[in-house]
A and B are shown apart, each in its own frame.
Chain A
């Protein structure tokens, strides 16, 4: 589904990713942990195609229509329409744009690309309310501007709502659990789990093993100084929780 090989990437002239490789298959959930500043968000931005981040060398391939296809040089919106989704660590506020309109434009952009029928506002409203129920979100959010006057936790929940609307094949969740209270985390995890299937895959970036009690990963990676320094099963997250990163970094 996703294959990253020996990736070097920079932002504003600083090389942050230094030889990162990662391979994710359909049906898998990968967790990425790592100290602050190790490059986790950078990885997510590079995969999503942020224009400020430059790929210096290496490759990023995503399976599109059954074929591994390079994402390098592809616009972020093209990647999104091909089934890539990024839940932001810091969701962006868009004043003046109602959440419902934003979600519908997004949904319809993806539908158009795949030759599917677009939804009118009334049908979409019904569709959206179903998704919001799963995430136990109040109706009041859909009339508000995107992420404006949302609490930190509400913004995170809104990211997962967007994911539920778009139903991506590959989702990268960047610290979606940070800022969520225990109950919200369970709700969000439940939302994520309902979207899990054999045909899609997820990369979950987190600092806390707690989230992984609810979203069970198949594989856990530790990222340090722009490279993956350790890959193991779910027990690695527990070990990091008790021992920190020192023993891995040496």
Chain B
């Protein structure tokens, strides 16, 4: 008998003040409980792959004044079981979070994102991609709590659904009384590639301040016939044209990833085994 490896570990990533980490930090896939703490003015990009064998993943983030974090969390393709993940963030003044969640596997993935914007001028960009096939299900539940003035949040979640897959987006925005001059945006777009795929999308707004800009929207659609025809008249067959249109559909989400290394990682996963069409 070999030594049993611990299935789960805790991991702490601490970036000292004003350190701008050049390398992408990779959280070992065995970690189920992660704390990422950026001290004032620190900057880093972190990748966390949620791998086979770990049904839960909990990430806590603390961003001190002016800290900047770009965080990519991916559910690996091939995860064929239920999985629950959670991201909990507290942001001090002028800090910035760019969060990206992508799932292309798992048959029941549920992700929770809780953002507390407690420092003036803090901002959070929350992006998600559900790329599902078979009878896979993915849920994204977000809560953005604007608790200080001049805070900004922008959520863009998209899903591409084949077969009998099912995507859920529940996005809650809360703007507290003291959070004047808040901007908060939320958009959920869904592309159904099968008549049996399903979407549930629900925005929730609770606004107690009066000087705020808020918008939210949701769309559910199929590949556009006129776009398909246009590409076909340019010699591309339906499969290739569909691939282009799907890539076009998620381009603006991918564009939200500012670190090119992170972006390449996501594109590699999306272009993996299942393919676009």
Q: What is the interface of chain A, defined by CB distance below 8 A to chain B?
A: 48-52, 75-77, 79-81, 85-86, 88, 91-92, 94-97, 101-102, 105-107, 109-110, 113, 145, 162, 166
Is B23 an interface residue when CB atoms closer than 8 A count as contact? no
How many A-B contacts if CB must be within 8 Å? 83
Q: What is the interface of chain B, defined by CB distance below 8 A to chain A?
A: 225-227, 229-238, 240-241, 244-245, 247-252
Q: How far is the CB of A157 from chain B (nearest CB, A)?
A: 16
Which residues from chain A contact B236 at a C-beta distance below 8 Å? 77, 105-106, 109
Q: How far is the CB of B177 from chain A (nearest CB, A)?
A: 38
Known: A48-B229, A77-B233, A105-B240. 6 other contacts (CB 8 A): A76-B233, A79-B233, A95-B249, A97-B244, A109-B236, A145-B251
Which residues from chain B contact A145 at a C-beta distance below 8 Å? 248, 251
Which residues from chain B contact A101 at a C-beta distance below 8 Å? 244
Which residues from chain A contact B247 at a C-beta distance below 8 Å? 96-97
On whether the beta carbons of A113 and B235 are closer than 8 Å, the reply is yes
On whether the beta carbons of B249 and A96 are closer than 8 Å, the reply is yes
A selection of 12 A-B contacts at a CB cut-off of 8 Å is A77-B232, A77-B233, A77-B236, A80-B232, A86-B233, A92-B226, A94-B245, A97-B247, A105-B234, A105-B236, A106-B231, A109-B240
On whether the beta carbons of A97 and B234 are closer than 8 Å, the reply is no
Q: Looking at chain B's contact residues, is the secondary structure mostly helix, strand, loop, or mixed?
A: helix
A162 to B236, CA, bound (A): 13
On whether the beta carbons of A96 and B231 are closer than 8 Å, the reply is no
Given contacts A77-B236, A80-B235, is CB(A102)–CB(B244) below 8 Å? yes
Closest Cβ neighbor of B229 among chain A residues: A50
Q: How far is the CB of A112 from chain B (nearest CB, A)?
A: 9
On whether the beta carbons of B241 and A77 are closer than 8 Å, the reply is yes
On whether the beta carbons of B232 and A97 are closer than 8 Å, the reply is no
Which residues from chain A contact B227 at a C-beta distance below 8 Å? 92, 94
On whether the beta carbons of A94 and B248 are closer than 8 Å, the reply is yes
On whether the beta carbons of B248 and A95 are closer than 8 Å, the reply is yes
Which residues from chain B contact A102 at a C-beta distance below 8 Å? 231, 234, 244
Which residues from chain B contact A94 at a C-beta distance below 8 Å? 227, 230-231, 244-245, 248
- Point out the residue from B226, B233, B235, B245 that lies within 8 Å of A97, measured CB to CB: B245
- Point out the residue from B225, B226, B235, B249 that lies within 8 Å of A77, measured CB to CB: B235
Closest Cβ neighbor of A168 among chain B residues: B235
Which residues from chain A contact B235 at a C-beta distance below 8 Å? 77, 80-81, 106-107, 109-110, 113, 166
On whether the beta carbons of A76 and B240 are closer than 8 Å, the reply is no
A96 to B227, CA, bound (A): 12
A110 to B234, CA, bound (A): 8
A162 to B244, CA, bound (A): 17
A86 to B230, CA, bound (A): 9
- Point out the residue from A76, A96, A109 that lies within 8 Å of B250, measured CB to CB: A96
Interface core residue of B226, B233, B251, B252 (most chain A CB under 10 Å): B233
